């Protein structure tokens, strides 16, 4: 990979697979792997951060390209970045879930004409319910969203699930699927023009496997 490209790498669930991908592109990620606290690696051209911060750094040109989940891009659809490639890993589903017993969401809609939904993805949740013609009050939470319906705060949640295990452990079930989310390669629009050759080569190499 071209050393003059700055890449934003997400810490968290897709961190390991992202570093594996960079290794295949010819980047030595050994320093990144051995430093959990360090965030900036100039020699490798890597800056690490929370997945939700990747589009911000890429949009403002602090990174030329970046990798983050489709869930982040859906929630931050206002960001001026180019989505270049579905990388195929980090597979999970964005779903609407509710308590296992009864029909909390349907009951709320019939009784009150609206439903209350907790989520870390307020824009995605609001758009989903608006598109399906249902009025929803969106409650944004930062912690464990599964707690919200169990305490009666909300009728349901919108969240990511990979295996469904966490939902089941909290006596919740999927009632609707919004979409499938995987890791995506994104680029800064200006960098995509000025460094088109380098970025195109990366895309071609990833596609070639």
- Which tens digit of pLDDT belongs to each residue from 15-68? 999 999 999 999 999 999 999 889 999 999 999 999 999 999 999 999 999 999
Dihedral angle, C-alpha 18, 21, 22, 27, nearest 10 °: 140
Q: 29 with 67: CB under 8 angstroms?
A: no
Give the Cα separation of 36 and 138 in Å (integer).
35
What pLDDT sits at residue 209?
80
Give the Cα separation of 40 and 23 in Å (integer).
17
- Name the pTM for this structure: 0.91
7-90+182-208 and 92-180 share one fold:
yes
Share of the chain above pLDDT 70, in %: 99
Instruction: Name which CATH class applies to 92-180.
Output: alpha beta
C-alpha dihedral sign at 81, 87, 91, 95:
positive
What pLDDT sits at residue 1?
45
Residue 54: Cβ within 10 Å count: 30
DSSP state of 145: T
Three-state DSSP class for 103?
Answer: coil
Chain centroid to CA 75: how far? 8
For the chain, what are the domain ranges? 7-90+182-208, 92-180
Residue whose C-alpha is closest to residue 34's, from 48, 21, 13: 48
What pLDDT sits at residue 36?
86
Residue 41, strand partner residues: 46
The pair phi, psi for residue 47, each rounded to 5°, is -125, 130
C-alpha dihedral sign at 43, 48, 54, 56:
negative
Report the CATH fold assignment for 7-90+182-208.
D-Maltodextrin-Binding Protein; domain 2 (3.40.190)
Which position has the token pair 């040109």? 61
State pLDDT tens for residues 101-135. Answer: 999 999 999 999 999 999 999 999 999 999 999 99
- The rounded radius of gyration (Å) of the Cα atoms in the chain is 19
Model confidence at 70: pLDDT above 50: yes
Three-state DSSP class for 78?
Answer: coil
């Amino acid at each position: 990979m071209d050393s003059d490209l700055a890449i934003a790498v997400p810490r968290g669930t897709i961190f390991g697979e992202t570093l594996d991908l960079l290794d295949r592109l010819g980047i030595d990620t050994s320093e990144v792997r051995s430093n959990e606290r360090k965030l900036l690696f100039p020699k490798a051209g890597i800056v690490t951060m929370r997945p939700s911060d990747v589009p911000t750094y890429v949009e403002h040109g602090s990174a030329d390209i970046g990798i983050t989940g489709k869930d982040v891009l859906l929630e931050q659809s206002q960001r001026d970045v180019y989505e270049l490639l579905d990388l195929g890993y980090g597979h999970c589903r964005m779903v609407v879930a509710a308590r296992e017993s009864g029909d909390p969401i349907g009951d709320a809609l019939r009784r009150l004409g609206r439903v209350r939904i907790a989520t870390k993805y307020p824009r995605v949740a609001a758009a989903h319910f608006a598109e399906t013609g249902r009025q929803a009050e969106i409650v944004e939470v930062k912690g464990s969203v599964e707690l919200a319906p169990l305490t009666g705060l909300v009728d349901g949640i919108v969240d990511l699930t990979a295996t469904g295990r966490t939902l089941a452990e909290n006596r919740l079930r999927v009632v609707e699927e919004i979409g499938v989310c995987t890791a995506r390669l994104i680029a800064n629009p200006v960098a995509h023009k000025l460094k088109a050759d380098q970025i195109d080569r990366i895309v071609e190499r990833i596609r070639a496997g």
